[in-house]
Structure 1
Amino acid sequence: MANAVHDLIRIKTPTPISRKVLLIAGEESGDIYAGRLISHLMKISPGLRVEGIGGDRMRKSGGHTFYDISEMSTVGFISVIGRIPFYRRVLKNLNSRIASGEYDSIILIDYPDFNLRVAKMAEKSGVPVFYYVCPQFWAWRRYRVRAVRKLVDMMIVVFSFEEDFYLKQGVNARFLGHPILDEAKLPEEKERVKLRKKLGAGPTDTLLGLLPGSRNSEIRDMAPIMLESLKTIRAINPVKVVIPCADSIDSTLLEKIVADSGEEALIVKGKTWETMCASDFLICKSGTSTLQAAIAGTPMVIVYKQDAFSYHIAKYLAYVQWVG
């Protein structure tokens, strides 16, 4: 898939992709996609420099970051308000870099409220923009497709129906498959037994995985509720519980929330996919994790919590009834 993305960029970029690319991935899931993409791009184009906003996976793959995803992540309309001065400084910095002409192309990954502003800067400077893992404007805020049509040279979508949706809206879009499928390898039964043992579960134990999110704000909102539900669940079935902690999360925050709850749960760093494959059931915050859980074939309950203001705005703008 990354090879195909590279070929599309070469076709649409006036000069070969060999100098410098700006990449913006403002969230944990975007950092995962960025890391995989950069690894492939660098194999195909030695000497390529990729820099921008990302996390550990982007850096480990050879990318350079001048802002980390831990600085960028917010959820809901209210939480953004207090961060506006910071976002303005970041955008001003990016605008200066783009206007200087140092980038051959720009790759944006999801993160629409921020990334569409970057796309507008790029349009003014004549830099080609590629949107990889596009925002779900088919689900809500559909009016923003107008901006995409004007500002984005190509949308590289991850669901087949998205290509049809964007093409009908006059947007240049290509479906190349979902990057999660490139890496999602289901373990053999023997390997699954080993995974369960590492996570503290024997052959007869019921293992429940809790996935409260990849942002500290989500951990604060979702983890206490999930842990509270264990009282009811354990009254029926004495489950073993494991909570994977994303790299973008402050592990001490999660540890304190678990300790304060009085519930027993094993916290593991960066073992999300292993937890999904090893668990018998999952409680997941809505988002990328629900797709991963579906690929793993593990039954799940999807939950989410927002402040009342954000909830009512989202409900007004949404075109779908369910989240996941």
Structure 2
Amino acid sequence: MKKVFICAGEASGDMYGAMLVDALHAIDPALSCVGMGGSTMRARGFKALIHSEALSVMGLTEVIGHLPRILGLFTRMRRFLEKERPAVVVLIDSPDFNFRVAKMAKKLSIPVVYYITPQVWAWRQGRVKFLKHYVDRLVCIFPFEEPFFRKHGLDATFVGHPLLETMDLATRRKIGPDAKRIGILPGSRHKEIASLLPVFAKVASLLWARDPALRFTLVQAPQVELQTIQSLWLQDVPVDIVPATDRYDALRQCSFVVAASGTATFECALLGVPTMLAYKVAFLSYHIGRRLIRVPFIGMVNLILGKRVFPEFIQHEATPQAMAALGQSWLEHPDRLELIRSELETLPAMMGPGKATDRAAAIVAEYVSGTR
């Protein structure tokens, strides 16, 4: 039985990985998809040697603190690759982890496809040389990535964004916002939630103190315990906690969203929901990263649209007072929210014609069949 080894390390990667597993099985139902993945991938018949929940860390210094456990995961993967020799290794995002896996595969002469490519165009562009040496094919989900990588001599293909396949935007955009409801997206990684949710809870508290009619919707990521969320939220502030599976309808009902920077903010953008985003990591991680970043924004929607459509609160700027002040101005001036919604209208069409996952699976299948 031919095997595809897939390595997905975060919640968004787990979602994209699950879609890829479905598309690969549609091409060849007998294909065995194994490797590292989360609960969504495992629910699709993916054989997880390692649960990606074990990799819920963020930032440079945070990764260092988990090195012994991470090195143990690498050892398990290397032994599997040496013994089973899959037809292809598919890496999904998580470059700090997946670059090591790419090296293993290269040493064993196993072809590597990188799906959801590392954002080397944003920071640490020296990693382009690594990709050129260790990765056979890059599968890109943002339109500007393919020309960037091809300019550097890499085999890259833009397939479109897989989120468009899951969101049913035509139907969901019929759901109108509730002026009194505010969304909270604290992220999916434990360090991220521990850092940002207390800030977001205080933002909610400040807004609610001004208007007790406000209600809050908080999206719970799959691998995050309800008890963790409840322990970090201010108990006197009313909140509806919804599972990630129901997030799209829930977010469309929000007048605006307070979110951790990441895939969730891009989902909000595609849904047409105004969002303020926050980003906080350990002090050392931030100061190292600040010297390496080569783009004007951290929010993907801002990068694609070429302007600051979603306000960004980075590191020391991510204070409850500053974010609540912006939220209050939005509540008092709903025309400002309408302006943001209008700015977002062109975004879905920029993300490709659809069926991105099928295109990605077709590329992977070329390596399985030996036509590449």
TM-score range, shorter chain: 0.7 to 0.9
2:108 paired with 1:125: yes
Q: Deviations over 1:168-220 (max 9, x none)?
A: 11111000001111112136479737xx8xxxxxx6x5110000101122111
Letter in 2 for 1:224: P
Aligned counterparts of 1:263 and 1:321: Cα–Cα separation in 2: 35
Deviation, structure 1 residue 322: 1.7
Aligned counterparts of 2:173 and 2:142: Cα–Cα separation in 1: 32
Aligned counterparts of 1:251 and 1:19: Cα–Cα separation in 2: 39
2:189 pairs, out of 215, 218, 229, with 215
Instruction: Give percent identity, aligned residues only.
Output: 33
2:170 paired with 1:170: no
- Aligned pairs for 1:229-308 (under 5 A) are 229-237=203-211, 238-258=213-233, 260-270=234-244, 271-308=246-283
Deviation, structure 1 residue 256: 1.7
Aligned twin of 1:10: none
Aligned counterparts of 2:232 and 2:61: Cα–Cα separation in 1: 23
Q: Secondary structure at the match of 1:283?
A: strand
- Asked if the contact 1:33–1:179 (Cα under 8 Å) also holds between the matched residues in 2, the reply is yes
Q: Secondary structure at the match of 2:144?
A: helix
Aligned twin of 1:107: 90
- Asked if the contact 1:133–1:157 (Cα under 8 Å) also holds between the matched residues in 2, the reply is yes
Aligned twin of 1:143: 126
Letter in 1 for 2:206: T
Q: Deviations over 1:223-246 (max 9, x none)?
A: 110010123222444321010101
Q: Secondary structure at the match of 1:107?
A: strand
Q: Secondary structure at the match of 2:160?
A: coil
- Asked if the contact 1:101–1:125 (Cα under 8 Å) also holds between the matched residues in 2, the reply is no
Letter in 2 for 1:37: L
Aligned counterparts of 1:143 and 1:209: Cα–Cα separation in 2: 37
State the Cα RMSD in Å: 1.7
- Asked if the contact 1:74–1:217 (Cα under 8 Å) also holds between the matched residues in 2, the reply is yes
Deviation, structure 1 residue 144: 0.5
2:66 paired with 1:83: yes
Deviation, structure 1 residue 317: 0.8
Deviation, structure 1 residue 263: 1.9
Q: Secondary structure at the match of 1:131?
A: strand
The alignment of Structure 1 onto Structure 2 pairs a total of residues equal to: 297
- Asked if the contact 1:227–1:261 (Cα under 8 Å) also holds between the matched residues in 2, the reply is no
Deviation, structure 1 residue 266: 1.2
Larger mean CA deviation between 181-190 and 148-157 belongs to 181-190
Deviation, structure 1 residue 100: 2.3
Larger mean CA deviation between 149-158 and 247-256 belongs to 247-256
Deviation, structure 1 residue 26: 0.4
2:169 paired with 1:186: yes
2:22 paired with 1:39: yes
Aligned counterparts of 1:269 and 1:293: Cα–Cα separation in 2: 16
Instruction: Give unmatched runs, 5+ long, in structure 2.
Output: 300-372
Q: Secondary structure at the match of 2:126?
A: helix
Deviation, structure 1 residue 61: 1.3
Deviation, structure 1 residue 103: 0.6
Q: Deviations over 1:260-289 (max 9, x none)?
A: 453221111222222222211101111101
Letter in 1 for 2:216: V
- Asked if the contact 1:228–1:261 (Cα under 8 Å) also holds between the matched residues in 2, the reply is no
Aligned counterparts of 1:104 and 1:315: Cα–Cα separation in 2: 39
Higher relative contact order (CA 8 A, sep 6+): 2
Letter in 2 for 1:227: A
- Asked if the contact 1:187–1:277 (Cα under 8 Å) also holds between the matched residues in 2, the reply is no
Q: Secondary structure at the match of 2:117?
A: coil
Aligned counterparts of 1:304 and 1:206: Cα–Cα separation in 2: 25
| Structure 1 length-normalised TM | 0.87
Deviation, structure 1 residue 78: 1.8
Q: Secondary structure at the match of 1:100?
A: helix
| Structure 2 length-normalised TM | 0.76
Q: Secondary structure at the match of 1:106?
A: strand
- Asked if the contact 1:186–1:277 (Cα under 8 Å) also holds between the matched residues in 2, the reply is no
Write out the 4+ residue segments of structure 1 that deviate beyond 6 Å after TM superposition.
none
CA 92–190 in structure 1, closer or farther in 2 if over 3 Å, else same? closer
Letter in 2 for 1:219: I
